[in-house]
Amino acid sequence: SNATSVTKSPEANHLEKCPDDPPELVGPLRIVFDEEQSMEQLVELNTYVEFGGHYKPPDCIPLQRIAIIIPFRNREHHLRHWLYYLHPILRRQQGEYGIYVIEQAGENTFNRAKLLNVGFVEASKENNYDCFIFSDVDIVPENDRNLYRCSQNPRHLACAMDKFGYKLPYTGYFGGVVAFTKEQYLKINGFSNNYWGWGTEDDDTYKRVTLSGMSVDRPDRNVGRTKMIRHQRDKGNEVNEKNYVVYNRMKYTRNQDGYISLKYSLIKIEKNQLFTKITVDIGKPP
Ligand code: UD2
Ligand code: MN
């Protein structure tokens, strides 16, 4: 019969796949942003992370190879909070992961979605990632059962944010933290490169997903609770009314504007202990 137990010889030099439900998860977490850790302290707290911000579970074969892409400029102190909370969570979740901070060089208007496209391209050069998580630098999950992983459809991980009363502000809301497999990302032609300044790029992404015939997966509302660090709007990222014009035309432009039309120049790749920082020139609004 095939019901005999499978015994593993201690010499067997092969690992099993990691389980679907990582055993070390603890559930709800207390997230506060009052304590400030120095980068040196963070490095000491997270010695299991390999140089460049990479981790691979030592005792099982990870189910996914995950690149975490963070759009960035001038938010060092948010990044330290993010690293403090996320490394231990991600370790418990047992994926293989790499952290990529994509920094926009210069003072031109910020372009979050274009930086996310850069992150996809640059991370893919380093490793054969199969899942990409695009996360704001200021968002932390309040429950480690909110798995930073990809699923059947593009996945919205920040579906219950504190600042929106722990629920979706509107049905098509897709901001904060989202996960795409490589295939899902390519299917929507990545993100638009044409949203300069604050707003609407997340609605564009949602539209790309639905127009491509996919839907959005979300964790349950309790598991999906997330906290955003309170902050003011940054200089160089003002609301841009022109973004509504871009959004209204996206149906016709999305196949030309995105991953396939991405242009930027690489300025620097800096490996830190807990993350890789990639600084790029992405130009300026037309
Ligand atoms: C909301 C969305 C965000 C995005 C944005 C509009 C939530 C939780 N998040 O965030 O996903 O759609 O609106 O663009 O609703 N950043 C920098 N430096 C800057 C400016 C921005 O690093 O100077 C990065 C950083 O990762 C930040 C992210 O861009 O978290 C989004 O910018 P924000 O935090 O100012 O916007 P917010 O909180 O309204
Ligand atoms: Mn924010």
Q: Is 45 left (phi over 0), alpha (psi -120 to 50) or beta?
A: alpha
Is 90 exceeded by the pLDDT of residue 3? no
Which band of pLDDT confidence, cut at 50, 70 and 90, is reported for residue 68?
very high
147, 25 Cβ separation under 8 angstroms: no
Does the pLDDT at position 7 exceed 90? Answer: no
> Rounded to an integer, what distance in angstroms lies between the CA atom of residue 25 and that of residue 18?
13
Cβ of 204 less than 6 Å from ligand 1 = no
* Cα 139 to middle of ligand 1, angstroms: 9
Mean pLDDT of 73-100: 98
Query: Which tokens in the block code for residue 35?
Result: 């304590």
59 CB neighbour count, 10 Å cutoff:
8
Q: For 223-229, what is the mean pLDDT?
A: 98
pLDDT at 35: 85
pLDDT digits (tens, 9 = 90+) for 140-186: 999 999 999 999 999 999 999 999 999 999 999 999 999 999 999 99
The finding on whether 76 has its CB within 6 A of some atom of ligand 1 is no
Cα 75 to Cα 202, 234, 261: the distances in Å are 20, 9, 28
Residue 42: CB within 6 Å of ligand 1? no
Q: Which helix (H) or strand (E) holds 178?
A: strand 177-181
pLDDT at 12: 53
Six-digit token pair at 111?
A: 């372009």
Mean pLDDT of the chain: 96
Q: Considering the entire predicted model, what is its pTM?
A: 0.96
Do residues 252 and 192 touch, judged by C-beta distance below 8 A? no
- Average pLDDT value for residue range 216-227: 97
d(CA 112, CA 73): 10
Distance CA 278, CA 269 (A): 5
pLDDT tens-digit readout, 125-152? 999 999 999 999 999 999 999 999 999 9
113 C-beta neighbours (distance < 10 Å), count: 21
CA distance 264 to 13: 44
**pLDDT tens-digit readout, 232-250:** 999 999 999 999 999 999 9
Confidence at 1, pLDDT banded by 50, 70, 90: very low
What is the arithmetic mean of pLDDT over 35-59?
97
Contacts of 105 (CB under 8 A, 6+ apart): 267, 279, 280, 281
Q: Would you say the ipTM is above 0.90? A: yes
Altogether, the residues listed in the chain come to a count of 286
Mean pLDDT lowest among 34-38, 231-235, 282-286: 34-38
The preferred substitution site among 136, 191, 205, 279 for testing ligand 1, maximizing ligand atoms within 8 Å of CB, is 136
Which two three-digit tokens encode residue 19? 């389980």
Q: Token match 């992405």: residue? A: 282
Q: For residue 56, is pLDDT > 90?
A: yes
Q: Give pLDDT, residue 6.
A: 53
* One-character DSSP codes across 80-130: HHHHHHHHHHHHHHT-EEEEEEEEEPSSSPP-HHHHHHHHHHHHHHHS---
pLDDT for the residue 14:
86
Average pLDDT over residues 249-263: 98
**pLDDT computed for residue 36 by the predictor:** 85
pLDDT at 75 over 50: yes
Query: Tokens 């189910």 identify what position?
Result: 63
Rounded alpha-carbon distances, angstroms, from residue 144 to 85, 86, 157, 186: 10, 9, 11, 28
The owner of tokens 């200089």 is 235
Cβ of 237 closer than 6 Å to ligand 1, yes or no, is yes
Judged against a pLDDT cut of 50, whether residue 10 lies above it is answered with no
Q: Which alpha helices (H) appear in the chain, and where do they start and end? A: 39-45, 76-93, 112-126, 182-187, 201-211, 242-253
Q: Would you please indicate which residues are annotated as catalytic (active-site) residues? A: 136, 138, 198, 201-202, 228, 231, 233
